[in-house]
Each structure stands twice: as structure tokens, then as C-alpha cells.
Structure 1
Amino acid sequence: MALDVKTLIFCNFLLGTFLVVLLLMYRARQRTYPGYLAWVFGTALQMLGLLSLAVREAVPLLPGVLVTNACIYFGMVLELEGALRFVRDTRASRLWYWSAIPFLLLQGWLAVGRDEVVLRSLVVAVCIAWVSFRISWVFLAGQGWTNHLYRLFAVLYVLMGAAVLVRALLWMTNPSHGLFDSPYFHTAYFSLTLVAATGGSICYILLTSQRLEQEVRTGEERFRRLVEASTMGIVFLREEAGGGLVLTGVNPAACGILHLSEDQMVGKPLREVFTGEAAGEMEAAYLNTCRTGQPLHLVGAEYRDSRVAGFFDVFAYRTGPGRVAVLFNDVSERKRLEAERLALQAREHHVSMVENQGRLVQGLAHEIRNPLFALHTNTLAAIRAAKEGKDGAPFTGFVEEQVRRLDALLRDLMELGRRPEAGEEILDLPALVRATAASVGESSLPKGRTVRMRTPEGSVRVRGDAPTLSRAFSHLLENALDFTPAGEAVEVSVSTEGDRAKVEIRDRGPGIRQDVQGSLFEPFVTSRTGHTGLGLALARHYLRSHGGELSGRNREPGPGAIFTITLPLGPESPEAGAAAEPSREASG
């Protein structure tokens, strides 16, 4: 049956529109690849071009010609874009899009200036054929020699390009031939191009599905190799109708850990393979994962049966409806090494405690022995003086001084042994440091030493107990002033750093000796004669009770040392890096 040209064009339009809907429905249900949408839009534009061609008589000649040819040309270029992105993952050259300008200008000139219908048809045919052959070559050069779908796609687009080009050339060479008036010729021509275009789009869908299937197979193969190569035991389980779990697969590592072959496990109920006391709990946990999808993670779980005994890390994940994968790793050796490490740490800690206690006892004995010797000597001298009727006041005064020294030593030791009250009072840190510096500095004025303060413009507030913090700063300032030569100053700065308040005390002494840097804040560690070595230890003890920290280092360049105190900021403190006031001296 032969149809007129307009009816054939409408039939092509309807079938092409159905094809576009089919392409969009496929994309909505399946994952697609780059270029798929370009192909769909290209097909849709060509359908618009056919619609414009069918209603050409109802619109002016020039707009009709331009719209029809633009839709058809850009539709073909978009299909080329889709082919290139699908096969080669590259984009079409911009020249394909820019070449539409001279093409449309030529079509407009031929339509208005000369009304050359035959020549205009030939130009369109050449463009369509050229793009069709290019699309065909993209698929043929891709996998056309090995993949039958690629080859079929290439053949269809060669057929479509050849049909369009041959029709135009025949019309140009003999436009008055009766063939072009035959409805059978037009039916055959439009049917051929429709079959080619429809077949190409269907091939595009089939190629997309083929690639998806190939990726799935490749992913499955990679997963299988990964499972087989894994050092963790992997068991795949399926829930049966009765509610139990059956093994559907295992990897070689699982066979090695469980001392069973694959044939002895696959297809067997879980409780036949795992026969330990914990098998029931295991199955219940895996069933919960299988039904709820909640992953299971057990660390160092103990399991024992007639074949296996040890500790395992276990991971269970649902892999699909009624299916779960269980991964387990024998960590018995790791647990043993961890236990040995903890035991070694405990021994080292015990040895360290004994050494610290030894140093503490040794230091305490040293600090007590000298005053006791002095007490013994001066007490005997005072008794002798009393017997001889002489004045024993110098001896008793010295005894009193040694008793006060011992009392101070014992008080300091008691302070180290108790946890001081942190307090909840909101304190102005610069004011507290300044007051402490003034108090400590009074004894240093005769020696020509001063304390210089640098504080921020705003307040720096901390939370704590003022007397306790003042004692900490006092120990540090006394230490710095004792080491600072006459005529020099101890520099004290207060600032903020993030959410911490920072106090730095810098002296000009000889610095921290290398042999005491590691134990600087331990009790009875000192490089000065006549001192107990408890000041820095007490300072750190007080600061840590307030959430603070104390560290010391040598100045670079020297000489001198820097002691840094950090404390948590309280409310209404300035931002980090707040500007400091000009330096000012604080004596006493």
C-alpha cells in the first residue's frame, strides 16, 4: 500500500516520537552512560524537524526551511555526540556545531533567492549522509569487527546515509523522472530511513544493556577474585523457610580457619558447621542482620568448638533479601601480643613507679638528713652549754630554724600528696599574675632584679582558686628570679591562644641543664644547693588541678629559660592573639 508524502512524514514523526519515549523510559529504569541523553535529544530534534516539514505549507517559506533544516542537522550532530561519548568517551568537535551557520545560510539563500528545491535537497542530503557515515565509522572503529551490535549499528547508518544521498542525486540528475511522482518510491524511501533510524536507536539501547551486563559480569568476577584472595574468612548465608541459615558459599580462607573443605560446608545448615556453644547466638545475630539490614560488628569475640578455638573480629552485612555475608578474622595472635604488650607496660609502669618512689625517698632522706644532723649537733651543743652555764641561745635558734625548714618540707610534700581544690571563681588572670609578681618581687629589689609584665588590653578570665594559682605562679617566679643575674629582669606575658590562656615567664639565667630536662618537674630535682626541688613540681601539680599544663624550654638564642603555662579560658575572655599592653615593670 502506497501513501502520500505528508502521511508518510506524519507516520515517521509518530513512530520517532514513540522511539524517544521508549529511550526516556529505558533511562528512567536503567543506569545509562555518557552520551545517552545527547542521543535522545538528537532523535527528538529530528522528530521536530519532520513535524516542521509536514506543516511547511502552513508557515512562510524561509522560517519553515530554516527551522526544519536546523532541527534535522542539530539532531544528527547530537546523535554523533552521543555516539562519540558512548564509544570513545570524547566530545564532538565544535566545528560540527559551528558548521550549522553556513549550512543554514546556504539553505535560506537557496530557498528565497533562487528557489532551488532540488539543489536545497541535495545540500541537506549531503550533510545528513556525511554525519551518518561519521556515526557509522565511530561504531565500526570501536568494536565493529568483533561485536555484532556495533557492526549492525554501523550498517544501519550507512544504509540511511546512502539512501538519502542516492535519492538526492537521482532527483538532481533527472528531476522530471516519473519515479519521483510515484507514491511507492516515497513509501519505500521513508520506510528505509525509518527502519535505519529506529534500528539505530534500538541498537543504542541494546548496546547500553550489553555494556551494563558486561560491567556486572566484570564486577562479579573481580568480587569473586577478591573473595578468594582475601585473608579474612568469608561465608555467604541464606535464610531458609524454616527460619534457619544455610551456607551458600565460602572462600579458601574460611576453609583454612574452620579446618573444613568447601564441600563440607556449602549447602549445610549453619549449626552443623558451627557447633560451639555460641552457635545459637551467632545464628540469631546473623538472622537479625538478614532481616533488618543492621550491620553486625564484633571485636575479639571468643568462639570454641571441636575444631576451632580462638578470638575473632566478625562483620556481617545483608547482601540481598534473605541473604547475609559474614566476614571473620582470627585475631588470637593479636590478642596474645596485645596481652603481652599490656603486661609489659604494666611492668614498665611498676618499675617506673618504684624508681620514682626510690628517687622520692632518696630525695626526702637527703632533705631530712641534713636538718636532722644539724638538729642533733646543735641540740648537743645547747645541752653542753647549759651544763657549763653558758648561753645556748645561738644553738636553740638554729634548732628552731631547722625545725621550720623541716615543717615547710613536710607541708610541701603533703601538698603534692593531695588534690587541691580547683575552685569555681572567675579570676582576672593578668591581675592575679601581676599581684603575685609584685609580692615575689619585693625580696628581689635589693638584688637589682625586676619583673616586667605584658598583658592584653582586655581581660583574660579563667576559672579556679586564686590562692592555689597564686602559689603556682609564685613558685615559678621565685625560680626565675633566683636564676636571673643582678640588674636583669624577668619577663612575664599574658595572652590567649585558641580556647586557652597562656602565661610565659622568661628569665636570663643559665637555662635548663640537659641532664634534668626530662625530669624537670619531678620532686627533688634541682640544680641549686640549699633548695628542695619541690617548687616546679608543686607548680605543675597546682596547674593540672585547674586543667592547665606547664612546660619549660631554653631560650633561643640564650641565655635563659622559658616556662609556659596554659589554662582553659573562662567566660568573657578576648579572642586569641589579643593585643598586649606596653611593657611595664612590677616590683614587689
Structure 2
Amino acid sequence: MLSAKYNDNKRYVIGVIGDIPALLTFWQMFKDQSNEAVLSEIGVVAAALPGETVLPEAHDSGHHIPTYAGYRAMLKAHPEINMVIETTGRSALVHELREYLPASVTLVERGAANFFINLLTSDKIWVACKADLLHTQNMLKTIIDQMDQEMLFLDNRGTIVDMNRAVLEKAGATKLKLMGRPYGEVFLGVDDPEAECDGDPLLVTLQTGETAEGVTSQVDTDGRMRYYRVYTHPVADEDGSISHVVAVRRDITQRTSIEQRLQQAEKLASIGELSTYMAHEIRNPLFAISGFANSLIRSPELSEKMREKVSIILEESKRLDLILKSLLNFTRPTGAEVHEVDLNELIRVTMGVMSLPCQNQRVECTVDLDESAALVKANPDLIKQCLINLVKNSLEAMENGGRLLVTSSMNPDFVVLSVEDTGHGIPLDIRDKIFSPFFSTRGKGHGLGLAQTRKIIDEIGGDVDLVSKENVGTKITLYLPPILAVADQQESE
């Protein structure tokens, strides 16, 4: 019994000629090497078995394939046949068919049939493999482009050969512009392509052949500090040598900010314990020193030179006591009462006081207030102290004059107070330390101004943001919680 794939819409309508053993051998080969794509174009509609007295029946998926005692009867019954395949290889039969078949019917001898089937099968398999490969490639590209992390595909010299969509969106550039550039320009912010970056994970991966990671920081176009963790993964050839590297960059700015806040909280806790000890152990002898110095300076027997020395002791004792008070005040909770604060009015009053220092330093001060801003939930004296701290810092950054802008505004969650100057800016290497207690770039003061400001804003549920560019200026923004319209209702309930 023969088996075939039958369809009325075939590109090749075939009649097969041969004895039963030859036909079975040919058809088994055809089935083994064909696939759905091949069978969809080829249809065997009839078979001729010359010399057979008893003809077998043939079926394919319920379709009947008639058999005939001779090829002439087959062609007469099926004029749609456009190809005849002779499977016996007998030269006399082949010669007879060449003489009889019309020009519209192609004769395919046994050897040619084998070649024809193999060629058609290979072509269809190649097309199917290509389609499958394109589908897999598109699916992989779609997955990579959907990832939030930036991904660069590098050669073994660190040159960019491809990237995902996140890189293009972050860089604001086209793929053509980034192709061929050193990866350090994109991921590490290294201006010189030849420069090496300390802890560059790509160098570690190329040297060791293992996955590596590192942390880098950059100042974005808005002057904000951003932190990134960069991972590099080697891609090896069959011989084990690195041919490519996949570099992944993840933004960890938010996590770093939380870690810095936790570190500062731990630092404040340690300072609190230390200040309690200092107050107990230092203030008592300091009180005695000040008392005896006051007694000595009132003595008429004291010479002028000695009086000057005792005066120095008194001044230094007062300065030490002031430092202790500042330290104790910083480490303790403010405990200040929270009220409804009209931020705009507070800014007007405070900047009225600070206008004279601005004039003396040739600083042009501008105040821009949003009259629609909500009332703020805070202590007015403490917010005034924060504003004065920010203005003083700005004035110290503009020793030769400049411009100072103080603004109020609203966003969906907070009332916003900003102080922006055109000073020298904050260097990148100390930006992480600006809000740390006792850190100061000047020889005077205790370095508690900005640390105290952040502490006050944190305690009322606000936030502090720093934007700075060297030789351009600095902007510090305080986010203050507004008074909610439901507060009175809750209190009355």
C-alpha cells in the first residue's frame, strides 16, 4: 500500500511509474526526507504498475490514489499530471516514456528524482531554519529591550558592538552614534578612552575570565549625583578565549541614599552617646576653670600681662562650652512644637533680615514666591534657622559677588523651598560628606549647619535635595509637608 500527501492545490502534480518494490523504496525515501513544507507543494495523484495483473489500492489520509496497469491509462485518466517520476531505472522504459510524453509533462528519472527530492527538502529546511532563527532573535531582542538595566555588548577590547534600548534612552543618542565607542565613555563617564578607571570590572573580567562588578558615580546633566553598579560577564569561544563581554549597569542611587541615611543615623547615635559623656566629664571641670578664671581676673593684684592670659582662658572656656552646647543640641530631638506655618511670610521676614549681608557682599538676591503654596506643618523658628543656614552657605560660596535665588513652590506631595546660588559649586569628592556632622570646608564653624538642617527636615517628615555643578552653582531644596485639609476633622473627632 502506498502513502502520500494529497491536495488539489499542488505545485507539482505527479504520476509515479514502477513496480511495487521500486515504488515502495522510492516512497519510503520521500517520506523520510520530506517535511510539511515539501509535502504541501507535491502531490502524487496516481500510480502506474506495468505488467501487474492484480493492482493494490493506495490511500493517503483518507484520499484514494488510483493505480493503473500502464502509464498510458494513468495519463489519460489524469490529464492534470505535469510530472512523471520513473522509479525502476530501466533504460527501455525510460526511452519509451521520452518518446510518448508531451512537452507539458516533465519526465524525472530515478536518479534525478532522488536529487530533486534532496534539493527541495534542503531548500525548505533552510528556509524553515532561517525563519525559526529570526523568530528566536526577535524574541531575545524584545526581552533584552524590555529590561530596565542598561546592557552593552562589547568585543574583547571593550568596544561597543550593540546595546539595548535602555542605553539609548539614558544616553539620549542613536545606536549609530554609540557603536564603536569605548564602553567606559558610556558606563564609567571616562572622557579619555585610553584612561583606566580604578576598579573597572571590565579589566578584571578580561584578565581573569570571570564575572566582575564595581560601583561608579556620575553627575547627571541636572547636577545630581547618581550611583551605578556595573557588572561584566565574559562570553567565551569554543576554545575558551573571551570573544565578547556583556556589561550591565544598574542605577543604585536610591539604595545608596538610604544606606547613607542609615549610616548618618548610626553616626548620630554614636555622637549622642559621646556628647552625654562629654557633658558629664568635661563640663564640671570646665565650670571650675571658668569660676577660678573669673575670680582671678577681678583680683587687683594681677598684672596686666597675667590679666591678658586669664582673659584668654575665659574666652577659650566659653568657646568650649559653646561647642558642647551645639553638640548637645544637635544630638537631642528638637522637641519643638509644630504649627501651621505660612512659608511665604517666613521667607519674606527672613530674607528681609539677610538682605543687608547680601548687599555687603555684592550678591543680587531675588525672591520668587508661589502665592498658591499650602501652609506648612513645621516649627517656624526651626525652618527660619534652616533658611538662614542655607543662605549663609550660599554667601560664603560667593565671596566675590553673584546671584541668589530663593523660591517657594508646590508639587503633588510637598511645599518646596529652594535656595540657589551662582557660587563655586561643591566638588564631587566631598559631595557625600556635605550633610555629615562636623564636616566643614572652612576653618571656622562646627560643621553642623547642613547636618542640622537635614535633621530638622527629617524630623517633620520632609526631605532635602542637593544639586551642584562646579564653577556653576549649587541648589538646595527643602521638601516640607503641607497641612492636610482633613487634619481639623481628625482632631475634632
- Alignment TM class, shorter chain as reference: 0.3 to 0.5
Give TM-score scaled by structure 2 length: 0.38
More helix by share: 1
Q: Larger Rg: 1 or 2?
A: 1
Give TM-score scaled by structure 1 length: 0.32
More strand by share: 2
